[in-house]
Amino acid sequence: MRPAEPRSVLNACNNRLYFTELEDWKIIQYVVEKAKKAEFPVRRRKFFSECKAATKVRRPIRVMEERFLTALAPKLVKMSGFDTETKVRVLFALSVPIDPEFLEEVIKVSIEIRVSEKGLICTYRNKNVILRRQPAVKQNMLASGSNYFGSEGGLTEFPLLVPKLHGAERVQINVKVEDEEPSSSTPTPTLQTMSVKSVLERIRDVIGSLNLQPLLGVFEKFYTASAVCTDKKSQVSSISMALETALTLSVLQISSPVTPQPGPESMSLKNYLTTFKRIVFDFEYHEFSVLRERICEIEQSMKGGDERIAISTIEQVFETLLVMISC
């Protein structure tokens, strides 16, 4: 019978440095190939379990994961064999913090991203694809005070969704990050457990993402007013007024046969519905479950129905949303 391996040898085999160059390269190739196609952050434990099966690397899953995070990811961003976009997609998909030096490289090639205070990529935008992590973190890892990074002067703000830009459709992909080990003690988010300021900022992102200046201008007015309010009821009132005004302007733009100003086209019913669908679906409150079902019903009725009826139904749903926020 073969004698048992000494514990020191077993520890060495499980050490993250105990990988051959061929094994490292197999892992990198697998990660890059899968991450380029990923439209959302993956569950790392499951990802590396599949990586182990595909690459035939005989290491514990946790060890492979640690190896990639501590050694291979930093090595990957410095490799000349992969373009910057591929590297960003890998960091986004695997939830790997971005290095400040690599961030500068990303900015130079006009890839726009939003980074959290922990260095994770919250929003990635390039070409016709926008990938967004939920929930978006409001601060970044640099001391610049802005959440947005782009090519102009190193900093720029960009909308999360542009319905139509120079005739090209933008693709919006909402993603939900699931914890590796979800805690049963974590409560389901509700309107009561989230501050008014947080709700206001998230709705501001949704309205602002339409890239329509009338809506954004009106909302900014109420956003600024509510920022100085210490009374919660006053803040909620500002939220409701801003949303109601945005709703009214949206209806006017749909009804108007003429685009009010050059640039973005008038909102179509589809974009109009998408706006409020994002509000209801992005806010993962259990109180919104009925609204989510109603939105889906509206989408079905739109396929062959009257737009006016659909818009009227959307207004009813939106009114219910305002009531929920005000409660």
Q: Name the residue ranges covered by the structural domains of the chain.
A: 10-174, 196-326
Question: What is the structure's pLDDT at 180?
Answer: 38
Q: Tokens for 210, please give them.
A: 């339409």
Question: What is the structure's pLDDT at 243?
Answer: 57
Mean pLDDT by runs of 10 across the 327 residues of the chain is: 44 56 90 83 87 88 88 88 86 86 80 77 64 43 34 31 31 35 43 54 57 54 59 57 55 45 45 60 55 65 61 61 54
**Sheet with strand 171-174: strands edge to edge:** 148-149, 112-115, 121-126, 129-132, 171-174
Question: What is the structure's pLDDT at 27?
Answer: 92
Question: What is the structure's pLDDT at 318?
Answer: 60
Count of Cβ atoms closer than 10 Å to residue 145 Cβ: 8
Q: Tokens for 285, please give them.
A: 């409150």
Cα–Cα distance list, 78 to 35, 74, 87, 103, 124 (Å): 17, 7, 9, 12, 20
Question: What is the structure's pLDDT at 205?
Answer: 61
* Sign of the C-alpha dihedral computed for residues 141, 143, 145 and 151 taken in this order: negative
Count of Cβ atoms closer than 10 Å to residue 180 Cβ: 10
Question: What is the structure's pLDDT at 108?
Answer: 78
- How far apart, in Å, do the first and last CA atoms of the chain sit? 72
Picking from 142, 91, 148, 146, the residue whose alpha carbon sits closest to that of residue 121 is 91
Q: Is the pTM of this model over 0.75?
A: no
- Distance from C-alpha of 40 to C-alpha of 68, rounded to nearest angstrom: 19
Judge contact between 71 and 16, C-beta under 8 A. Answer: yes
Angle at 41 between CA 39 and CA 44, to 5 degrees: 130
Judge contact between 315 and 273, C-beta under 8 A. Answer: no
SS3 call for 147: coil
Question: What is the structure's pLDDT at 105?
Answer: 82
Question: What is the structure's pLDDT at 201?
Answer: 62
Question: What is the structure's pLDDT at 284?
Answer: 52
